[in-house]
Every structure is written in C-alpha cells, then in structure tokens.
Structure 1
Amino acid sequence: MLKEIIIAIECYIKAHNFIREHKLWRWIILPGILYMLLFVTGMYFFIISSNSAVNYLSNIIGIDRWLQEQKSPFLSFLFMMGNIMVRLLLVFFYFSLFKYIFLIIGSPLFAYLSEKTESIIEGRDFPFSFSQLMKDIVRGIRLALRNMLWQAVYTISILILSFIPVVGWVSPMLSLFSECYYYGFSMVDYSCERRRLSPAESIRFISDHKGLAIGNGLLFYLMHAVPVIGWILAPTYAVVAATLSVRQIEGVRQIEIR
C-alpha cells in the first residue's frame, strides 16, 4: 500500500507537467475558482456554527464550571486536548459533507477531465454519448451516497473514540485517513467508470489499491494548506493525478503478468 501511496503522490507532479504541456488550464482554473468560492463561504459559516455548537454543548454539560471546582491542571489539560480533538473532527466532518456536495455537482466536469486526460495519452477521442453520460452521472451519485453513508458510520465511531482521554487523541488522524480514502475513491472511480467496471467491480478494484485513493486524497487536502492557489488547483489536479496513477498501476500489472 505504501508503494501505491507514493505513486499517487508522484502523479500530482506528473499531473502538473501534463496540464502545463497540454494547456488544460481552462479546465482547471474555472472549476477551481468555483470550488474556492464555495469552500471559503462554507468554511466561514462552518467556523461560526461549530464554535457556537461546541460552546453551547460545553455550557449545557457544565464542563468549565466543573473544571474550575476541581482545580486540577491535569484534568484541565485532558479536557483542553479533548476540545481540540472534537473541533478537528468537526472540521473533517464539514469537509466530508462539503466534499460530497461538490463531487455530485462537479461530477460531469470531473468525468470529462479524466476522459480528456486519457484521450490525450492514447491519442484518440472517446465517443460522446448523452445517455451514457447520464448513466455515469447517476452511477457517480449512487457511489457518492454509498460512500457518504459508510463514512458517516466511521465518523460517528471516531467521534465517540475522541471522548476517551489520551486514546482519543489519535481520532483526528483516523478521520484524516478516512477523508483521504473516500475523496481519492471518487477520483479513481472516474477511471474505473470509463473502463465500464460495475460499481461492485470498482469498489473491489479500489479496495485492492487503497494506497492510490489514500495518496490522492492526502495530496488534495495538503494542497489546502496553500491559500487561494492550492484551493483553486486541488480538485482538478486530483482528477488528473488519479487518472495517471491508475494507468501507471495498470502498466505495472501488465509487466508483472509478463
């Protein structure tokens, strides 16, 4: 799996060179700006609402008052760490909801960009079919809803874990890997979709190559550390990188078969 994570990360560099070489910026910048605007707006309202929710819950439970009565630095430290973990999990939860909304909205564009990448590599055009496009969109939405359900189960489990002192400190890391996997899953699935894999076959392929999904999602989230530019480039770079990584894995498998 580690090898596949490295391949997925390296493919972001290849994606940048590929986009620059074939002048695909119009397919990168416009959807990227839309994503950035949605991301900034959503994050603004999320920060306001999450702070209010955490403070309200803390007041209802009476944690601050109880800690003042206990006068224990150690307990204060544990609950401070717990507060930080819960807030981080809420951030990932927001990313999760935002991610699926954006994936559903941007599904036609992402599918086209993935197809465009592969058509350039192979030197041929894939025939356009409106009926097939609609089927692919419905398929993408169904898989997104399926992944959202499973991720919700994992997120709730991780959230419960976060309330356990010390042990719960690993919960943000678990949530991050869950986020990376499910975002990368959607990016890799565009290539599986074009190869006419059924949803079950696509799930099995990506489960066998978890490293591609995790590595792709990890770089996607790391790019958010670069304000504005990273936010604009992250989603479409992820599509191109996922397409290149699947082709590289297929090439490795063909060599191994020989």
Structure 2
Amino acid sequence: MKFFKHFALGIRSYWKAISFIKTHKLYWYLPIPAGLMLLIYYVGSEFASWQAGWSEEQGCLECANMNETIWFLLKMLLSISIGLILMKFAKYIVVVLLSPMISIISQIVEKKLTNNKYPFSLQQTLHDVKRGLHIAMRNVMWEYIFFLLILIVSALGWDEVHQSPFFYLTFAIGFFYYGFSFIDYINERRRLDIDQSIHFIRRHRGLAVAIGCIYSVFILVPVDLGQMVNYEGFLDHPFQTLGTSLLHFSLWMLASIAPILTIVAATIAMHDLVDLSENEFAIRNNSPQVSIDKSEN
C-alpha cells in the first residue's frame, strides 16, 4: 500500500509544481532548455549539411594515398555520427547539460518552501559532480541489465518480444531510474551517501516511479524539430503543414519544460515526505516560509 501512497504523492506534486512555477515566476527558466534544444539541433543540422556537401568522388580525388583515404572516411563517419546524435538525441543531451541548473532550481524551490540555504563550496560542488556521474553510470548499468534480462525472457516465450507482457516492465524500470536521478538531487543536500540514497529511494519506489513516469511521458514523446520549421508544402497543404508544425512545437515545448517541472515536483514531494526544513545541513533565516498544502506521507 505504501507504493500507491507514495505514487499518488508524486503525481500530486506535479500539479503543485505547475502552480508553484507560476506563483514564484520560475517560468523564466523554461526558455533555457527550449533554446538549448534548438541550438543543439541547429548545430547537428549544420554538421549534416556540411557532410552532405562532400562527394565520394571529390573525396577520392583529394586522397593521394591509402592513409588519406582512411582519414577522409573516418572524418566523414565522425561528422555523420555527430550530426545524427545532435539532431536525434537533442532533448537527452539537454538534460545532461542542464544538471547544474536543475540542482540550483531545486535549491531555490527548497529555499522558498523552508528558508533553507546552502553555502557555495567548490569542494562540495566537485563532490556532487562526481556523485552525479556515479549515480548516472550505476542507473544506466542496472537499467541495461534489467532490459537485457526482460528481453531474453520475452524472446524465449514469445515470437515477438513486444507481445510479451514482461516487455512493458522495461518502461516501469525506466520510470524508476529517471525518478531516482531527480530525487537524488535532494538527497545530496540531505548529505545521504550513495548507499543511503539508494536505500531511501527503494523504500519510496512509488514516489520515484511517479516522478519518472510523468517526466518520461514528456521527454520520450517523438519530436522532430525539423518538421516544426518545415513549411515547404504549405502552399499545397496549408492545414496539414501547419498542423504538423504545431504538433511538433507542442511536443518540443513539453520536452523542454520536463526537466524543470520534474525537479520542482520532486523537491515539493520530498518536502511533503520528509520535511526538508529539518535538514541539519542547511542554513536558515527568519523569513516567512511559503505555504503549500502538505500531503499525507
């Protein structure tokens, strides 16, 4: 029952997060991931255009020997890879690049909720970066192991792995590890070590799944930024072209706001769960706290 109780807490925290962002004007942060995503996509498209300008014949004509031919092929392969990564995985790269800002936003939310402040420390910052990398690598490793196990079981029992009911467990596992990553930002400030954070999140896995579930819906929806700005067929099919553009614009906006909305929701949920005002590692002032409806733990 605790799983569903904590799951409901995580879902409710998203509704509170929307209101919180509006009330405290945190929406000024929203253009940052949106602009960053467009910038990454633009750089990727430029790489793709640059590579498309090369011709195999020209490359061979420029190569005087085997070493130059191999170097040309490696350069072409690298440019294609970079272009595809930047264009197809822009929203995932954004989440990684935004990690420092996500941590700062979480601190801002906690300060408004509890008046907690955390003094800047270069040593602590470096420690947090190292910890974040450790957590990320651990989560990716375990998620990949579970994915392989489920894939093997599904392949043994069903002709098509997607027909196996076990296959859908991969989504739930992904939800858990996404939520894990966001909750750990708060556990860092509570000075829980990695083992303590893992134990805490396992005991509150319903919260982690809820936080990761909504985030995944936003970040995993297919969005093609190229289609958003493609109006070549507007004269022939104006409504279809405009509709496609608006659809991908909406999906782009959802993917852009996902990291900020999720970290606000995670911080609010953790405050409801453990009362962050009792964190002994924070510095407090005497300003009045923000009033927010507390959910049952």
Fold in common (TM above 0.5): yes
C-alpha displacement of 1:126: 2.1
Deviations, residues 218-240 of structure 1 (Å, cap 9, x unaligned): 11122355512211111111111
Look up the SS of the partner of 2:164 in the other structure.
helix
Letter in 1 for 2:168: M
Look up the SS of the partner of 1:127 in the other structure.
coil
Moved more, 188-197 or 130-139: 130-139
Look up the SS of the partner of 2:251 in the other structure.
coil
Which 5+ residue runs of structure 2 have no aligned equivalent? 45-87, 222-249, 279-293
C-alpha displacement of 1:29: 2.5
Letter in 2 for 1:221: S
Which 5+ residue runs of structure 1 have no aligned equivalent? 43-93
2:273 is aligned to 249
Which has the bigger relative contact order, CA under 8 A and spacing at least 6? 1
Q: 1:158 to 1:237 in 2, by over 3 A?
A: same
Match runs of 1:97-246 below 5 Å: 99=92, 103-163=95-155, 164-165=157-158, 168-224=163-219, 225=221, 227-246=251-270
Deviations, residues 145-190 of structure 1 (Å, cap 9, x unaligned): 0111111101111222332317852244201101100000000000
- For residues 159 and 40 of structure 1, the distance between their equivalents in structure 2, rounded to whole angstroms, comes to 35
Instruction: Specify which structure has the higher proportion of helix.
Output: 1
Structure 2-normalised TM-score? 0.60
Q: CA RMSD in A?
A: 2.9
- Contact 1:107-1:137 within 8 A present in 2 as well: no
- Contact 1:183-1:217 within 8 A present in 2 as well: yes
- For residues 35 and 133 of structure 2, the distance between their equivalents in structure 1, rounded to whole angstroms, comes to 23
Q: Identify the match of residue 13 of structure 2 among 11, 16, 34.
A: 11
- For residues 6 and 35 of structure 1, the distance between their equivalents in structure 2, rounded to whole angstroms, comes to 31
C-alpha displacement of 1:116: 1.2
Letter in 2 for 1:230: L
Q: 1:9 to 1:35 in 2, by over 3 A?
A: farther
Look up the SS of the partner of 1:227 in the other structure.
helix
Look up the SS of the partner of 1:184 in the other structure.
helix
- For residues 19 and 129 of structure 1, the distance between their equivalents in structure 2, rounded to whole angstroms, comes to 27
C-alpha displacement of 1:18: 0.7
Q: 1:23 to 1:183 in 2, by over 3 A?
A: same
Residue identity over aligned pairs, in percent, reads 32
Deviations, residues 51-79 of structure 1 (Å, cap 9, x unaligned): xxxxxxxxxxxxxxxxxxxxxxxxxxxxx
- Contact 1:32-1:235 within 8 A present in 2 as well: no
C-alpha displacement of 1:110: 1.4
- Contact 1:36-1:228 within 8 A present in 2 as well: no
C-alpha displacement of 1:41: 9.8
Q: 1:243 to 1:32 in 2, by over 3 A?
A: farther
